Structure 1
Amino acid sequence: MTEIAPDAGFNENTKLKDALLQHRAMSKDGFSERLFGYLFSGLVYAQIWEDPDVDMEAMELSEGHSIVTIASGGCNMLAYLSRSPSRIDVVDLNPNHVALNRLKLAAFKHLPDHQSVVRHLSTEGDSANSTLFDRHISPHLDPVTRDYWNGRTITGRRRISAFNHNFYRTGLLGRFIWIGHMLARLHGVNMGDMVKSRSMREQRHFFDTQIAPLFDKPFIRFLTSRKSSLFGLGIPPQQYDELASLSDDGTVAPVLRHRLEKLACYFPLKDNYFAWQAFARRYPKPDEGTLPTYLKAEHYPAIRSGVDRVTVHHASVTELLATKPAGSVDRYVVLDAQDWMNDRQLNELWSEITRTATSDARVIFRTAAEISILDGRLSDSLLSQWTYRREQSETLNRKDRSAIYGGFHIYEKNA
């Protein structure tokens, strides 16, 4: 699990290339894969877009559990610490996410108090955050991570200065959301007005009258018929095909409309920080709503005390699990990574999951489409060792506030 510099390009990141590239370079699909890989080689997610409260309920996470999870923006890994697991191994193929996760862990451990953590990780427009980083965080980072955050962007500013403004407007997804807002403005809609809603009825009215009609606009339908249009969401070509298969016209516009409807209308805004990021491009203020689980004051002591139980690896889940002894992992969180995989990669992953799983282990994951990706693809010898908790999966999928995915899935090891 060799480290790689976070600002290395896609061609230098052999781990990401091995996971993503499945077609010849000169083919149409091969070009799409390489374009996505180029975009995905930078920081993609400043915030993870899977609901950690749903994760923890699905895992029945409790004190003493050993967890392996994909990193992404790091929010969920920190939320899991609120349940006092014995160990969390965090993996990611994107070294920028590795650097972000290590920064967030160091912030919890070395910033003076909870207020400082919230200011550094969620407050926009606070120029003191760079000073807090230099004084409290930077001395405790490994050299590669320290150099990354002290490094300069194309504007000449240090990367860490993004926390002086609004860090969640950076990264590939942050810029994609900005483009979405600009497209809506060109059609006369201010997406930010959604957060002025004072009830779920008002949320529904705004969606039906302002947002939903956008998906019938010719230019937006044209854009969403291109695979590259969703690369900014971190959706690779394989996932686009899954989404397009769900609609009658072969485009993802109807699917995106439905997912955005759930985000906008199914949960009160005050309880859904995912909606605030989508529509206001920031977290709510204290009088507007709640922060992510890992930033709530009641969880701060447990998270701070548990930081040293976390190790962040630049690796794939399969690669990490191959180093672990049999029967040593209780819970696995693989996000939507399996949507990227071919059958060989999928079976290799589950071979290692099955080998390392404890007798009551659970695996949770999400999919672009509604059905589990394992059916018809995972070998019978592996699948027969697990039970799919279908009813619980469907119930918790309805509770997922991020509303990004079609399916949420829970598998439990057979005793």
Structure 2
Amino acid sequence: MQTSEAARHADFSAIRYAQCWEDADILVEGLNVQPGDTCLSIGSAGDNALALVAAGAGRVIVLDLNPAQMACLDLRMAAYQALDYPELLELIGSRPSRRRRTLYRRCRPILSIDARRFWDAHGASIDAGIGGAGKFEHYFAIFSRRVLPLVHRRATIQRLLQGGGRATRLHFYEKKWNTIGWRLLFQVFFSRFVMGRLGRDPSFFRYVEGRVADRILFRTRHALTELNPADNPYLHWILTGCHGAALPRALRKEHFQTIRENLHRIECHLLSVEQYLDQAGENVIDRFNLSDIFEYMAEENYHRLLDRICRSGRPGGRLAYWNMLAPRHRPASMADRLQPLDELAHRLFLKDKAFFYNAFIVEAIR
């Protein structure tokens, strides 16, 4: 049985991501999810698995190595059942609330025993909003509360988030936002060292070369100028600790009832992709949401897993994944089995609101 390289190096004892920091809008479009499709999705906090349900998937197989991440999805699924739509947003932290513990108590009877035990021990995280409970979110909270105020005042931040036309955004960025202080702060806080200590697991940088902060700063400029900050829920959370008027796909009102009625389509497995595919068989999965798992692997392990995915996937199926810092693309040796959909992927990447990634990859199984 093939084992996961990430499992041998990373710490999976606590919530790493309390939200999926990937844009489900481009994920769903890239995968071209069809009614009844069987989808495999990396768990994280579960938002993208829920978005696949909203897109009409008939079965969503959620995989994660971390029980804490599964507890995040379990509580979300309970919230869709037990709460109404505004209450869901309160529990997540998208909207202000003083009654999150009460909302949790309504969800609690629906939770699995393990998830109930986990969240009972994390009352402070519930009070603050479960969308802020992860290490990555704590990292952003330090940035927004302690670091960013050193270079930009609250009024400047609010003006940025109002967005506007492209010319207005470019002018504001160059004249008001892109100061020497901003650039220096960015180089320090988003360095490999600081991000590894406070944000991501240090082992996730094993295959990263070059200056991390430079790459993220380039993509941040794109998000603040080429995209409209007013429409970006991820940017709003990073800068303010909650969502603005725009919300991630799974949290939009138009998808709430569809998700609520189809939660039975989700099945969760505390397994690696490698372990699950070893038992899944061949030609059984239509769509693969693979997050950015490949950049945590040596290139030979990435190629080996791609081969296994192709055998489990149905012809015409698709896989989508992100590169944040380590480049991963289908090797030429697999040209007869995987077709890169580069034009589609690049078009989607240009509107990716989760802007810190360096590439979005979509490939079709031949």
Deviation, 1:370, is 8.4
Q: 1:293 to 1:188 in 2, by over 3 A?
A: closer
Structure 2 counterpart of 1:42: 14
Deviations 1:151-194 (A, max 9, x none): 1xxxxxxx144333343343211221122232233345557435
* Correspondence for 2:218: 258
For residues 44 and 17 of structure 2, what CA distance do their matches in structure 1 show? Answer: 6
Structure 2 Cα separation of the partners of residues 122 and 225 of structure 1? 28
Is contact 1:215–1:257 with CA below 8 Å preserved after alignment? no
What is the TM-score with the length of structure 2 in the denominator?
0.88
Q: Which runs of 4+ in 1 moved over 6 A?
A: none
Residue number in structure 1 paired with 2:131: 168
SS at the partner of 1:408? strand
Q: Is the 8 A contact 2:188 2:194 kept in 1?
A: no
One-letter amino acid of the counterpart of residue 164, structure 2? S
Question: Are the structure 2 counterparts of residues 146 and 124 from structure 1 closer, same or farther at C-alpha, using a change threshold of 3 Å?
Answer: same
Q: 1:372, CA displacement in angstroms?
A: 3.8
Which of 295, 305, 310 is equivalent to 1:349? 305
Partner of 1:50: helix, strand, or coil?
coil
Candidates 181, 188, 208, aligned match of 1:214: 181
What does the per-residue CA deviation read over 1:121-174, in whole Å, with 9 as the maximum and x for residues that have no partner?
Answer: 244442322222223x211211111100001xxxxxxx1443333433432112
Aligned-partner residue type, residue 171 of structure 1: G
Aligned-residue CA RMSD (Å) = 2.7
What is the correspondence of 1:333-344 to structure 2 with a 5 Å cutoff? 333-344=289-300
Cα distance between partner residues in 1 of 2:190 and 2:97? 36
Tell me how far 1:120 sits from its aligned partner: 2.2
Which runs of 5 or more structure 2 residues have no equivalent in the other structure?
Answer: none
The 8 Å contact of residues 43 and 97 in structure 1, kept in 2 or not, is answered as yes
Give 1:269 deviation, angstroms: 2.7
Aligned to 2:147: 183
Change (3 A) 1:335 1:66: same
1:263 CA displacement: 2.2
Q: What's the TM-score once normalised by structure 1's chain length?
A: 0.79
Change (3 A) 1:119 1:372: same
Distance in 1 of aligned mates of 2:147 and 2:364:
43
Deviation at 1:298, TM superposition (A): 1.5
Q: Aligned-pair distance for 1:359?
A: 1.5
Shift in CA distance, 371/150, structure 1 to aligned 2, threshold 3 Å: closer
Paired position in structure 1 for 2:235: 275
**Distance in 2 between the 1:215 and 1:375 partners?**
38
The AA in structure 2 aligned to 1:142 is: S
> Conserved in 2, the CA contact under 8 Å of 1:67 and 1:87?
yes
* 2:212–2:325 Cα contact (<8 Å) kept: no
Kept in 2, the 8 Å contact 1:124–1:167? The answer is no
Unaligned runs of 5+ in 1: 2-14, 22-32, 152-158, 246-250
> Residue 133 of structure 1 aligns with which residue?
104
Question: Aligned partners of 1:211, 1:369: CA distance in 2, in Å?
Answer: 23
Decide whether the 8 Å contact of 2:19 with 2:47 is kept in 1.
yes
Greater RCO, 1 or 2 (C-alpha within 8 Å, sep 6+):
2
In the alignment of these two chains, the number of paired residues is 361
Change in Cα spacing, 1:178 to 1:364, as seen in structure 2 (3 Å) is same
Identity %: 21
Correspondence 1:325-340 to 2 at 5 A: 325-340=281-296
